[in-house]
Structure 1
């Protein structure tokens, strides 16, 4: 579903997805899955390189974008330390670097200090034809989410609205083997402040109009990071709802008598969002809509400038992560971000 949903964003073609799927043998375990997606990915990459040599940059970029997504799909069954996994990720990142290098204006691969021996890596895509400092959207996914996906999933929505975009993940600048040690840290939210610190060193962005999009159900670490940092102008994330859900679950398991309001009150104890917050969910996501609404109302007690959008099945974008129709969700999200950033005066 994710791969098919990416087709309308330029991250795949429906025919290629069906072709790869038709060749996958469910009895063959992960070998068949890997073999067919890597075949499609390699074809796209080779096609991109060939047409680029003939001067057709736009076609090359389209094929690099699709190759990125197919390479990522091929590694689904792999452990991060697997040699094949690391080789595929190196190729995927090479596609991403070639893609952003030939944008107009060109994108940059940036390194952002975080932990002592573990830097974050990001792709900074400047707004087109910008003559002044521009607003910027940070895109960060849940732990394990790869920033390359934002090149087709989010970049055009920022670009079309005159905003720069910084796509960053928690996987560092390597192939992900160190990530297994990092992901269990209780302070993942500190990465958010370091990303903001980096942006404030740039002279091409408006420091008063920085927003962040925390993608996925595990984006509570983004919510925590924003709650500890008053420099953000707007945030789209789960608002801490997933943290609240996990806390309620653990409290019920440990002491059923403590379940309920005590377990879910205050997703971010002692902290309030200092900027507008948007939470988007799908009707058929992992949490029931009524439960999400209840958690949202509890959040609203301490965080009044917070909005909730639940996409219904009648309009699509109702699956977990809006993967059945990411276009609809992104249009809503980036319009909301544009409105909030436009209202901010430097």
Structure 2
């Protein structure tokens, strides 16, 4: 509800109002964490967990409201990270810092959150953060979205997998997958990947190069398509020939190489424009390629866009939960899983396959 009213609030009161809201949401996060502490002392662990997750969500709202370059953003991220470490153990959230090793290359650390279910072998998702977003920040944002879904998550930062000129990101991400496969609590046939923001392109390349992925939230190859169009030669060729069939083949070339269900998130902070994503989905539908489309709710304030990450994350992880729960979509049987084209809303109800989308 706050996000729905945000555009009018900021338009009416300006940047000062926005900063006031950032401060207020930080205070809400602090208050929720104090409540979690109190409930732990009272042995009311369910209420403590709820308060803790609400606190993490409040901190993320505050971080997005803070202006770019505002030191408050780093301070808020530090608060979220500190509260993850503080409340994880007493609330039985066994968040692990794990070392990912890759052949002879230097390894890196990631966060691992087990499913916490009675299922001894649960699905897992490799989550790759956006640029300039630490793994801890992404984990704090995703914890409320993955709670209770019966899936494990391995959270890695964008810089750890894309900031090394000597190693391809796909190789490092395959090492993440190798790590998950060796865990006794992970079902190797039900591992997905999610690339946030610019990392959506990394998730696409990774899924193309490693056919063990059972479901992917990625850009469907549209970032490579956009870079191709940025070339003067390609732009001239397409403009002169007016070859929409040729453009269609190029646009869907990458996604046709993906052998698992795909969700493309378009608009907002995504690399993908909504119009190109809609074209891609229509073309893939005609070829019986399993691709869905999610368009997050975007709040436009002056020249800036703020996405409603709460509803967006609910949709994304609801989709992953549904796709990874289908036995027919297990590793090695992805080609049998073809769903109809869907324009996903950002509500969990739209993920019910028995309801029209």
Structure 2 residue 321 is matched with structure 1 residue 338: no
The match for 1:175 is: none
Q: How far did 1:222 drift? A: 0.6
The match for 2:53 is: 65
Distance 1:68 1:270 in 2: 35
Contact 2:214 2:260 in 1 (8 A): yes
Post-superposition Cα deviations, 1:275-324, rounded to whole Å, max 9, x if no partner, equal 313224469997665532333466689xx673233468xxxx66597758
Instruction: Determine which of 99, 109, 114 is the counterpart of 2:97.
Output: 109
Distance 2:114 2:63 in 1: 26
The match for 2:352 is: none
Q: Which moved more, 1:289-298 or 1:221-230?
A: 289-298
Instruction: Determine which of 292, 295, 305 is the counterpart of 2:277.
Output: 292
Structure 2 residue 231 is matched with structure 1 residue 251: yes
Distance 1:270 1:25 in 2: 44
Contact 1:155 1:165 in 2 (8 A): no
Shift of the 119–308 alpha-carbon distance from structure 1 to 2, 3 Å rule, reads: same
* Paired positions, count: 310
Q: Which moved more, 1:232-241 or 1:106-115?
A: 106-115
Shift of the 223–333 alpha-carbon distance from structure 1 to 2, 3 Å rule, reads: same
TM-score by length of 1: 0.69
Q: How far did 1:52 drift? A: 1.8
> 2:210 aligns to what SS in structure 1?
coil
Q: How far did 1:33 drift? A: 4.4
Distance 1:269 1:109 in 2: 34
Q: How far did 1:219 drift? A: 0.6
Q: How far did 1:257 drift? A: 0.8
Structure 2 residue 24 is matched with structure 1 residue 41: no
Contact 1:65 1:99 in 2 (8 A): no
Shift of the 281–27 alpha-carbon distance from structure 1 to 2, 3 Å rule, reads: closer
Shift of the 264–74 alpha-carbon distance from structure 1 to 2, 3 Å rule, reads: farther
Post-superposition Cα deviations, 1:255-280, rounded to whole Å, max 9, x if no partner, equal 6313464697167779933x313224
Distance 2:256 2:209 in 1: 7
Matches within 5 A, 1:15-34: 26-28=14-16, 31-34=19-22
The match for 1:11 is: none
Post-superposition Cα deviations, 1:190-247, rounded to whole Å, max 9, x if no partner, equal 4422321321332322323322233446511111112122322332322222332343
Matches within 5 A, 1:182-201: 182=163, 187-201=168-182
Structure 2 residue 261 is matched with structure 1 residue 308: no
> 1:75 aligns to what SS in structure 2?
helix
Matches within 5 A, 1:86-165: 86-103=74-91, 106-113=94-101, 119-130=108-119, 132-144=120-132, 146-157=138-149, 159=150, 163-165=151-153
Shift of the 91–290 alpha-carbon distance from structure 1 to 2, 3 Å rule, reads: closer
Contact 1:265 1:299 in 2 (8 A): no
Q: Which structure 1 residue ranges, 5 or more long, are not aligned?
A: 6-13, 173-178
